[in-house]
Chain A
């Protein structure tokens, strides 16, 4: 494997979070914004107008929100923002493109020469971002027999394209890049990141060369990768395919390949056009964008905290482990849930560490089992902390706390209500537990004998009997202590 060096660049199309389209005010279809399963898909061609149908004489007007979202992304990706930017027409003919051109940006992207840091194992690697620009989506084609059916609801939906330099050298780096980019865009509220709904799509450029060789092999472009899985599998396949070709002395052609998800292979696509053939020229219907520092600074102020900033802050402010931080900062909702819990914990004397444990342990478990996101959870962070406070003051034990959490998760009830309603308060009454311990010992003379014979692990069984007799409500530590005292003195 290490006989070859791999060079990979990624292009990402991310759908922005806008209500209306890029150049007209048609509504962005629900399935395209990641609106959740509850939303019915709009009937085909019901969210279209003369602009997004490419009718002659229609005048496009750019969406301010979309422009600002791309500028924010460019800032977050440490790009240089140009003073002037404009749109270009990319000319090609295809049935899903009603105008005969796509409005895109070629000469003056909204961001250039940026970077993003990714972490693979323990190493930070900086990936250069060469270009961040704005363009419009095409319609959707469905092939039926000898015909194609076209739905233009997606036509004109704003897309941000983010292009990296060929800076990645392994599938692991590609994965971390794609995940970190998705995290960043979600944190900033720029893209839902919902892969099933096509909110992020990728293209990968892969080339290899023998280790130590200075000339890079031909660049192979893999198109239309609509999921993380397709991105990673196709890049892995392509690296192996190219290595095999070199080993066998076969040439690697500069070409465009598609990805066959079912067969798990890339295949040659007839390359449609070269860059020249697109005959880019400035879009005459759209005035230029003058981007002054006042505008840029205002956007910079609006920018939410970035994942990397939040990770650094969580480490210093809460003293969490890198693993806990990674789990808690995976998305903004989780991070904010934790912070709200940590704040409530300050009043109730629950440490951030304890709150973090319960969130990443039991709460994540419940969420996963229910296929839900933390954004929809019915437990307010403060109530989670109230539950932990009940535990801390020994009003309930751990198994009861887990049970109460489950009920809170299902019903949204407050922990104290549940404890009272179900009579779950922990039994820490010394006399009551002592008499229970006596009856357990009386009932199991054989176990008592084993203990006295030196087999001290049977104590666990006896504690279990006390717990059973109290439906799990006994304070297990106190029960254990009382049993041990009695066994020693008996």
Chain B
């Protein structure tokens, strides 16, 4: 079972603000998901080489030739706020 602190930390990494009640609720759900995923740990993988992918492909590479991009107008079309040809968001202060 994840502690409330762990749940809060994970939520923080995802930039989610959770109330104490939500931490309770989601903490239980997240723990259940992790437990379920953990059933995989029961498998004996002693003889199986670690793998980074399940794709049966390798060296899929494109030649270095520039092609046309989207227009600025199209690129910005989904943005709720635009200024000077750029996406505008609330400033994040470090």
Contacts and interface: CB of A to CB of B under 8 A. Distances in A.
Interface string A22-63: 000111100000000000000111111110010000000111
Nearest to A28: B66
A18 interface: yes
Contact of A44 (B69, B85, B91): B85
Contact of B75 (A18, A19, A45, A279): A45
A458 B53 CA distance: 87
B67 A64 contact: no
Interface residues of A, number: 56
B47 interface: no
A50 B72 CA distance: 12
Question: Is the contact region of chain B dominated by helix, strand, or loop, or is it mixed?
Answer: loop
Given A26-B66, A53-B75, A149 B84 contact: yes
A132 B91 CA distance: 33
Interface residue tally of chain B, by bracket?
35 or more
Given A53-B75, A143-B91, A48 B55 contact: no
B52 A282 contact: yes
A420 interface: no
B89 interface: yes
B88 A48 contact: no
Contacts of B66: 19-20, 25-28
A337 B94 CA distance: 49
A328 interface: no
Nearest to B50: A107
A148 B89 contact: yes
Contact of A270 (B76, B91, B94): B94
B90 interface: yes
Interface stretch (B20-28, B30-38, B57-65): B57-65
Given A45-B87, A48-B70, A65-B63, 8 more contacts: A46-B85, A67-B61, A144-B83, A145-B91, A147-B88, A152-B87, A277-B13, A288-B55
18 contacts: A18-B64, A19-B66, A25-B66, A45-B75, A64-B64, A66-B64, A94-B92, A95-B92, A107-B52, A146-B91, A147-B83, A147-B88, A148-B90, A277-B13, A284-B55, A287-B55, A287-B60, A290-B59
Interface of B: 13-15, 52-53, 55, 57-67, 69-72, 75-76, 81, 83-92, 94
Task: Rank and list the top 7 A-B pairs by shortest CB-CB distance, nearest first.
Answer: A65-B64, A27-B66, A282-B52, A64-B61, A287-B57, A149-B86, A25-B67
